[in-house]
Amino acid sequence: MSDKRLKILLIGATGTIGSAVKEHLSERHEVISAGSKSGDVHIDITDPASIKEAFEQLSPLDAVIMTLGKATFAAFNELESAPLSDSKHLLGIENKLMGQINVAQVARDYLTDGGSITLTTGILNEHPVPGSVSPSMVNGALDAFVKAAAMEMPRGIRINSVSPSVLRQSLGKYGPFFRGFKPVEAADVALAYSRSVESLVTGQVLKVW
Ligand SMILES: NC(=O)c1ccc[n+]([C@@H]2O[C@H](COP(=O)([O-])OP(=O)(O)OC[C@H]3O[C@@H](n4cnc5c(N)ncnc54)[C@H](OP(=O)(O)O)[C@@H]3O)[C@@H](O)[C@H]2O)c1
């Protein structure tokens, strides 16, 4: 891989994972921070028009990284059959799943040749915990999306997901869900995003656990 300075759009840059990724990659690349309310540019990943507008404004871009995505934790017996609009699965499907898929599908058309797309999933599809049915489902769908989309990516564009275990820095928020899990360091999670952007891997789930 060359030493080229890349122009990278990092959506979710102010978050726990995003700020570690920003710190790591800013040492050698131009990193543009985005969030729905924070960052250099505002993008709401649940709004496809705002995604497209940002890519049009910021192009040419060599890489996009997403360090975000919400889904609802709820006991399985609280998940009633319902239309999607009334379902507790809505948040995960609309935000973490379709939000990242929509960014990836815009990036496919806008990134420079040989560019890269990196999504964020998480350990819960392989190691579920009580209450994780919805987040586990979404993570599994995203990891499958990455594997399939990589096969058909045009112009040498690569796509991967990073799947971390719970971060030590997030134990205050998620600790009770992750009893018995070994927490990982944000700086180590950031290395997986570096590998996705700066090596030649594609179609991979880069696990940090
Ligand atoms: N933290 C962990 O231990 C851990 C472990 C495994 C997996 N994960 C996964 O990693 C992802 C990020 O986790 P995190 O803990 O770093 O999150 P976080 O600290 O809550 O940060 C979320 C980031 O996303 C941005 N954001 C939120 N909604 C957005 C939207 N609709 N459009 C654009 N940007 C949006 C936020 O900025 P604004 O407020 O400006 O929008 C913020 O920068 C999540 O999917 C999580 O499930 C986290």
CA–CA separation, 207 and 126 (whole Å): 11
Q: How far is the CA of 45 from the centre of ligand 1 (A)?
A: 11
**Ligand 1 atom nearest residue 17's Cα:** 16
The residue contributing the CA closest to ligand 1 atom 37 is 35
The full DSSP string for 72-113 is ----GGG-----GGGSTTHHIIIIIIHHHHHHHHHHHHHSPT
8 A C-beta contact, residue 202 and residue 153? yes
Average pLDDT over residues 165-188: 97
Residue 2: the pLDDT is 67
Angle at 143 (CA atoms; ends 142, 144), nearest 5 degrees: 90
Q: How far is the CA of 11 from the centre of ligand 1 (A)?
A: 9
Would you give the distance in Å from CA 84 to the centre of its chain? 22
Q: How confident is the model at residue 76 (pLDDT cuts 50, 70, 90)?
A: very high
Instruction: Tell me the CA–centroid distance for residue 14 and ligand 1, in Å.
Output: 8
Q: How confident is the model at residue 29 (pLDDT cuts 50, 70, 90)?
A: very high
Domain 7-208, CATH homologous superfamily name and number = NAD(P)-binding Rossmann-like Domain (3.40.50.720)
**Ligand 1 pocket by Cβ (under 6 Å):** 11-18, 35-38, 43-46, 67-69, 96, 120, 122, 164, 166-167, 170, 174
**Residue 1: pLDDT over 60:** no
Give the pLDDT of residue 169: 98
pLDDT for residue 74 is more than 80? yes
Indicate whether this model's pTM tops 0.85: yes
- Residues 138-150 have pLDDT tens digits of 999 999 999 999 9
Calculate mean pLDDT across residues 61-67: 98
Provide the residue count of the chain.
209
| Domain ranges for the chain | 7-208
* Closest residue to atom 8 of ligand 1, CA basis: 122
In angstroms, the CA 136 to CA 89 distance is 11
Q: What percent of the chain has pLDDT over 90?
A: 99
When pLDDT is cut at 50, 70 and 90, the band that residue 3 belongs to is: confident
